[in-house]
Amino acid sequence: MSAPNKDFDPVAAEALSEESVAAAVVAAEEAFASANDLDELKAARLDHAGDRSPLALANREIGALPPSAKAEAGKRVGQARQQVKQSLAARQAILEIARDERVLAEESVDVTKPFDRDPIGGRHPLSTIQERMADIFVAMGYDVVDGPEVESEWHNFDALNLGPDHPARSMQDTFFVESADSGMVLRTHTSPVQIRTMLRQPPPIYMIAPGRVFRADELDATHTPVFSQIEGLAVDRGITMAHLKGTLDHFASALFGEGIVTRLRPSYFPFTEPSAELDLQCFVCRGESIGRSDPSCRTCGSEGWIEWGGCGMVNPRVLAACGIDSAEYRGFAFGMGLERTLMFRHGITDMRDMVEGDVRFTKPFGLEV
Amino acid sequence: MRIPVSWLREFAPVPPEESGRDIADRLVRSGLEVETVTSVGGAVAGPLVVGHVQSVEELTEFKKPIRFCTVTVGADHGHPDTPGERGIICGATNFAPGDLVVIALPGSVLPGDFTIASRKTYGRISDGMICSEEELGLGEDHDGIMVLPPGTAQPGDPAGPILGLGEEVLDIAVTPDRGYALSIRGVAREAATAYGVEFTDPGLELGELPIPDKSAAPHECVSEDLTACDLLTLRTIVGFDPSAPTPIWMRRRLTACGMRSIGLAVDVTNYVMLETGQPLHAFDLDRLQGAVRARPAKSGERLETLDHVDRELSPADLVIADDRGAIGLAGTMGGLTTEIDGSSTAIALEAAHFEPRQVARISRRHKLSSEASRRFERGVDRSLPPYASARAAQLLIEFGGGQYRGMTAVEAPVDPIVIPLDPNLPGEVGGLALDEVTIETQLREVGCEVERAGAVLQVLPPTWRPDLTDPYDLVEEVLRLIGYDKIPSQLPSIPAQHGLSMGHRIRRRVGLSLAGGGYTETPAYPFIGTDELDGLGIPVDDARRRLVRLANPLSDKQPYLRTSLLPGLIATARRNVSRGAEDIALFEQGVVFFAGEQRADAAPRPDVADRPSDSELADLDDLLPHQPRHVSVLLTGAKEPAGWWGAARPASWADAVAAARLVATAVGVDLEVTSGVNAPFHPGRCAVLRNGDAVVGYAGELHPKVVERCDLPDRTAAMELDLDVLIDQAQDIVPAPDIQTMPVAKEDIALIVGEDTPAQDLAAAVAEGAGDLLESIRLFDEYTGEQVGVGRKSLAFSLRFRAPDRTLTAEEVTEAREAAVAKAVERFGAVLRS
Ligand SMILES: [Zn+2]
């Protein structure tokens, strides 16, 4: 409020006095400081920095002053309004921070509440171990090849040097497709995929065949009539058993840890000559438990080695059946069971767990093995 | 093959300090698979002595036979009150005063931790036990007390050594190429090589047979098929004492090898077979009529074999026969009518060599595997029959008396196989340096004769190794004897390849996507029964009834191979439910099988000597059923469980369709969805899934009847897709979309249509009407109720418009929107809801 003029041509106005201006500033600053939130500050701003505030009104008085007084009064009021504006901004900033903190505090939640609204599934470890193994061989330059599960007897047996009267043929508990001379079986191994590959393409051949195979065994803790294998085949000039050993050693260390090696023991398979049983160095004790019963190694039974599969140099008769000249090319082949690998790799004690499809078994393997 | 170590040592003087386990380790390294090393009567602890039965008193007051026996047990072992004697209660009746028996004295421990003590029973003091074989852990002979042959030992002698207690026995799993290892002879030879000790061959000692009694000729033998039976010998012995017992050491070894003692004549043939590997057969000479001949069986001929099975023979069988007919299946099993028994005094001892495949075929056709057939089909030493039968005749006469009348034999000429071996080959195959001396030395260890002829070695394999037929067989022998541990480890250098195929990459993606989408992979067996297809309501003419049947299924209830993954998922879901699971989402990627046309003729069997022709290979492939890879899901319970966020969202048909779309996205193909009807789905909740014109699968809620029959939770939903077809359509290279950056204009419209109008078709009409400016259309709401009227529904779409080169004007957007509505009106009589 401006005070009434005392004179017609005033040289001074009460509202513009130093005291009045200073008082208005103090009042404004006090009002701002006592504002507890942004709403109160808004009211204080209207009172003390708005169009109807004392300083705004005082500012209007300046026009009526004689020119000689205008400059001084203008400077005084201008500085005062600037000071009020700064105080307001400072208080505004403080209260905004306070408000933000309060809002964030109010919005806090219990983040420990489980949010399993979209449960994730899991892949079967047989799938993932197969892929892991395939990746190791793909990195070495192998192709991954599939073949039919119902297979001709010719591909499954005859071409693999297992003629109709071969004693090893009756050793295999083969599922035959009806009728008796249908010439078809559920493949007993993935070896027919090797045959198909050799028939399809000339050497060099470096391939692996992972897949399901079948033997007429009843399901129990260590057997299943439907199981999985991975087999590998290399056919090239100058292939040696040393290459077989090197490949298996590399595979073993890639899957079980640096430095883990394999061991070959003489054996017999119709499709390889020479043939060998394949043992894996125990990746848990690395052979340190050999002969020890206390503490014994549960993975290898303190033998230091784990039976893993079979291998050998491709029998020249098998190459011949596929039209490959054994004078020019030699090959090696190997194979192992995936269920068995999973059992000792992960400490699975009962084959049935891998077969029955209980989701509680599969889920812990998640998306990777 | 079980190998008692003492028997092996007879022919291979392995150092005495080597244990059975040490020997086993050496044999394993040279390629014999020793599965176990056990010891005879492992758990028996003394004092066990020989006893002489003095008297037997029958105690008649009991319901069963109980006898009180007085037994002489030697001066040191008698009861204090009865020096040199003990009284023992026994329930067995197969022995009499004068017999030698085995006595477990008080303090003995028998298998099963059974301690013998002096005790009062049946009113007497029983001061020990008279033992049976079973009680001593020697065998499963239930005939009663073990009676030792007279003169075996003196009363009081320790019984352990006589019974061979504590003897170590190796059990070897013999691979099909190592027929020679089905004998002590063969394994002893390997042991001698492994230890570098001298081998004494029991198969090459003709021994000291008596001079044949010339008063009568030996019995005649004939081979009518000198290919199938290229050597037949027959030795004749008369005046044999059928009551002569088998010596205890022979019984002990037979038992240790897992064979029963039957009578001296049969025991000797078995003993010699175990020792040499040559199967022998003893005929009762008095029951033979005419020459013993090997010949093909006649059509309709029958033979009752020793296992009391009456068999119908076929001309493909080779039999041993006399004038009356077949008396044995060659190399497999003898006949009942000419069997040796407890009264036979004249013996015709047959030792022959048969073609391995001939015996394999007989064994397979008659489903009859015997000790003889196992050996013959793996190959028996061609030169062995006369030696083995001489050894047997000698043992028969030594222990059973009788006169030797001599031998008759027929034989085809032998053409020995000489294998030319390039001396570089073993080293080249093994990937190591091998000099010729080493190679020759190892081959001679095996028994080969080796001669240098120009650049190659001419190798004559020994007669007991018919498995050695080509250079690689010799390479294996050399390398295994040198030791596989000498083979270095080296990686081949492999030409660069292309990595995983697109199909494999897609299959991985599909698996990962479904797992990420909440599904758990549960691969099932592929075996199904028609019950399961009936349960799914699959019609009789459905392709899924084109079943491949197994000749020898594990279960008669599931003799077929699956044509759908759903039966497996259903069984797995049920198993999970039975174990307490409630919210289940399963998937499988796997092969299914659709039978092709039945063939009238037998399957082709191309020769394996060379590559079959392409047309022969095509014929083979034509046999096979169609075997596509499918992917399937099954879900029940809640797809989203209840939680602090709200209620559960039950799994539904929509999830199944979404899973199919997820798979299509992972593969990278389009999937069109229309409604349809297909078992096992709810007729109103079944989506037909198409790629282009091809139906690639179905998804939806299972038919309530199927749910009921399969004992599944209500509203179970499922999906099945032919993954192979989708993968075939997948593009390797995805073209990038054109991203427009001009402003978007959004419009929402709600259209009232008949409730049967498919949302997808209505959306298509709207899109068509909206024209090129439409960027996307999305169904965001569905409403049925009073406001739209009975039999009608309101579908609300949000439309987004955009031009590639300019900001759209309000007029342009309105025009496009009105055109969109107009098309829906025109096609479906839609009413714009305001
Ligand atoms: Zn270990």
**How do the domains of chain A map onto residue ranges?**
10-106, 125-354
Measure the CA–CA gap between B476 and B497, rounded to whole angstroms: 32
In the three-class reduction of DSSP (H, G, I as helix; E, B as strand; rest coil), residue A322 is classed as coil
d(CA B725, CA B696): 7
Chain B residue with the nearest C-alpha to that of A329: B429
Distance from CA of B582 to the nearest CA of A (A): 11
Ligand 1 center from residue A298 Cα (angstroms):
7
The answer to whether B83 and B57 are in contact (CB under 8 A) is: no
Residue A107 phi/psi, 5° resolution?
-85, 0
Per-residue pLDDT band at A343 (split at 50, 70, 90): very high
- Neighboring chain A residues of B525 at a CB cutoff of 8 Å: 225-226, 355
Contact B472 A316 (CB under 8 A): yes
CATH of domain A125-354: 3.30.930.10
Q: What's the CA gap between B197 and A253, in Å, rounded?
A: 39
Contacts of B651 in chain A (CB under 8 A): none
**Gap from CA of A251 to ligand 1 centroid (Å):** 18
Backbone angles phi, psi at A206, to 5 degrees: -135, 105
In this structure, are strands B456-460 and B449-453 parallel, antiparallel, or unpaired?
antiparallel
* Coil, strand or helix at B368: coil
Q: Between A142, A165, A273, which is nearest B497 by CB?
A: A142
Cα A296 to middle of ligand 1, angstroms: 8
* Residue with the larger pLDDT of the pair B44 and A102: A102
A230-270 tens-digit pLDDT = 999 999 999 999 999 999 999 999 999 999 999 999 998 99
Quote the distance between the C-alpha of residue B215 and its chain's center. Answer: 55
Tell me what the mean pLDDT of segment B745-764 comes to. Answer: 95
Note whether B491 contacts A: Cβ–Cβ < 8 A: yes
Residues 73-132 of A with CB under 8 A from B: 113-124, 126-127, 131
A249 vs B501: CB contact, 8 Å cut-off? no
Q: Mark which residues 281-310 of B lie under 8 Å from A by CB.
A: none
Among candidate residues A127, A368, A124, A130, the one with its CA nearest the CA of residue B572: A124
Mutate to test the interface with B, among A172, A359, A360 (most CBs of B within 10 A): A359
**Distance in angstroms (rounded) separating the CA atoms of residues B833 and B797:** 12
Which pLDDT value is given to residue B638? 96
**B contacts of A113 (beta carbons < 8 Å):** 644
**Distance (Å, whole) CA B69 – CA B154:** 18
Q: From the CA of A357, how many Å to the nearest CA of chain B? A: 5
B79 near A CB under 8 A:
no
**Residue B634 — φ and ψ, nearest 5°?**
-145, 135
DSSP collapsed to 3 states, A129-151: HHHHHHHHHHHHCCEECCCCCEE
B378, B430, B485 ranked by CB distance to A167: nearest? B378
Please tell me the distance from the alpha carbon of residue B317 to that of residue B298, in angstroms, as a whole number: 9
Residues 6 or more apart whose CB falls under 8 angstroms from that of B418 comprise: B458, B459, B460
Q: Give the model confidence (pLDDT) of A84-122 as tens digits.
A: 999 999 999 999 999 999 999 999 999 999 888 999 999
Write down the pLDDT at residue B112: 74
> Among positive and negative, which fits the CA dihedral B233, B238, B243, B247?
negative
**Six-digit token string for B464:** 């007991």
Q: Return residues 353-392 of B near A (CB < 8 Å).
A: 356-357, 360-361, 363-364, 377-378
- The rounded Å distance from CA A281 to ligand 1 centre is 8
* Whether the Cβ atoms of residue A273 and residue B475 lie closer than 8 Å to each other: yes
Q: Does A304 touch chain B (CB under 8 A)?
A: no
A369 — pLDDT class (breaks 50, 70, 90):
low
pLDDT-based confidence at residue A8 (cuts at 50, 70, 90): very low
Q: Is residue A2's pLDDT more than 60?
A: no
Residue B187 pLDDT:
96
B chain contacts of residue A176, beta-carbon cutoff 8 Å: 550-552
Quickly count: other Cβ atoms within 10 Å of residue B152's Cβ. 16
CB atoms within 10 A of CB B558: 19
On whether any CB of chain A is under 8 Å from the CB of B551, the answer is yes
The reply to whether omega before A66 is within 30° of 0 (cis) is no
> What is the C-alpha to C-alpha distance for residues B588 and B566, in angstroms, rounded to an integer?
9
Rounded to the nearest angstrom, the distance between the alpha carbon of A288 and the centre of ligand 1 is 7
Of residues B475, B551, B627, nearest to A179 (C-beta): B551
Cβ atoms of residues A147 and A187 within 8 Å: yes
* Interchain proximity A127–B28, CB inside 8 Å: no
pLDDT in tens, B509-547: 999 999 999 999 999 999 999 999 999 999 999 999 999
Q: What residue in B sits closest to A128 (Cα-Cα)?
A: B508
Beta bridge partner(s), residue B783: B794
- Find residues 27-56 of chain A whose CB sits inside 8 Å of chain B: none
Contact list in A for residue B504 (CB cut-off 8 A) is 134, 144
Rg of chain A's alpha carbons, rounded to an integer? 44
Rounded CA-CA distance B510/A22 in Å is 78
- Tens-digit pLDDT profile for residues B87-136: 888 888 888 888 888 888 888 887 777 788 888 888 788 888 888 877 77
Q: Give the Å distances, CA to CA, from A40 to A33, A34, A90.
A: 10, 8, 15
* 3-state SS, one letter per residue, for A227-288: EEEEEEEEEECCCCHHHHHHHHHHHHHHHHCCCCCEEEEEEEECCEEEEEEEEEECCCCCCC
Residue B313 · residue B319 · CB < 8 Å: yes
CB contact under 8 A, A152 and B621: yes
CA distance A99 to chain B (A): 28
Tell me, what's the pLDDT at B115?
Answer: 82
Which positions in chain B touch A360 (Cβ < 8 Å)? 579, 581
Q: How far is CA B340 from the centre of its chain?
A: 36
B456 to chain A, any CB pair closer than 8 A? The answer is: no
pLDDT of residue A10: 52
Which residue, among B494, B561, B601, would best test binding to A if mutated, counting the most A CBs under 10 Å from its CB? B494
Residue A222 contacts B, CB cutoff 8 Å: no
Does pLDDT of B789 surpass 80? yes
Tokens coding B319: 């039999």
pLDDT of residue B606: 94
Return the closest-CA partner of residue A180 out of B603, B548, B317.
B603
pLDDT band at residue A170, thresholds of 50, 70 and 90?
A: low
Q: Considering chain B, what percentage of its residues have pLDDT values greater than 70?
A: 99
Average confidence score pLDDT of chain B = 92
CB distance B765 to B824 below 8 Å: yes
Q: Is the pLDDT assigned to residue B697 strictly greater than 90?
A: yes
ipTM, 2 dp:
0.87
Q: What is the band of A1 on the pLDDT scale with cuts at 50, 70, 90? A: very low
pLDDT bin (cut points 50, 70, 90) of residue A61 is confident
Distance CA B34, CA B172 (A): 4
Instruction: Answer whether B544's CB lies under 8 Å from B565's CB.
Output: no
Checking if the pLDDT of A7 tops 60, the result is no
Strand pairing partners for A210? A230
Q: Which of B507, B520, B597 to mutate to test the interface with A (most CBs of A within 10 A)?
A: B520
**A280 close to A308: Cβ distance less than 8 angstroms:** yes
Residue that is written with structure tokens 């069971």 in the block:
A337
B420 interaction partners in chain A (CB closer than 8 Å) = none
Provide, as residue numbers in chain B, all residues whose Cβ is less than 8 Å from the Cβ of A156. none
- The residue of A130, A154, A160 whose CB has the most chain B CBs within 10 angstroms, and thus the best one to mutate to test that interface, is A154
**Measured between CB atoms, does B519 come within 8 Å of chain A?**
yes
Written as one letter, the residue type at B776 is S
Tell me which chain A residue has its CA closest to the CA of residue B575.
A358
Give B-chain residues touching A303 at CB under 8 angstroms.
Answer: none
C-beta of residue A231 within 8 angstroms of C-beta of residue A322: no
Rounded to a whole number of angstroms, the distance from the CA of B572 to the nearest CA of chain A is: 6
* List of chain B residues whose C-beta atoms are within 8 Å of the C-beta of residue A163: 357, 608
- Position B688 confidence tier, pLDDT thresholds 50, 70, 90: very high
**Tally of CB atoms within 10 A around B241:** 13
Find the A345 Cα to ligand 1 centroid distance in Å.
11
Q: Which residue of B has its CA nearest to A219?
A: B554
Backbone φ, ψ for residue B722 (5° rounding): -80, 100
Q: In the beta sheet, which residues pair with residue B409?
A: B233
Checking if the pLDDT of B761 tops 50, the result is yes
Cβ pairs bridging A and B (under 8 Å): 295
**CB nearest to A178's CB, from B518, B549, B641:** B549
**Locate tokens 């390849």: which residue?**
B497
Half-sphere exposure in the Cβ direction for B407 (13 Å, CA): 25
Q: Is the CB of A153 less than 8 angstroms away from the CB of B605?
A: yes
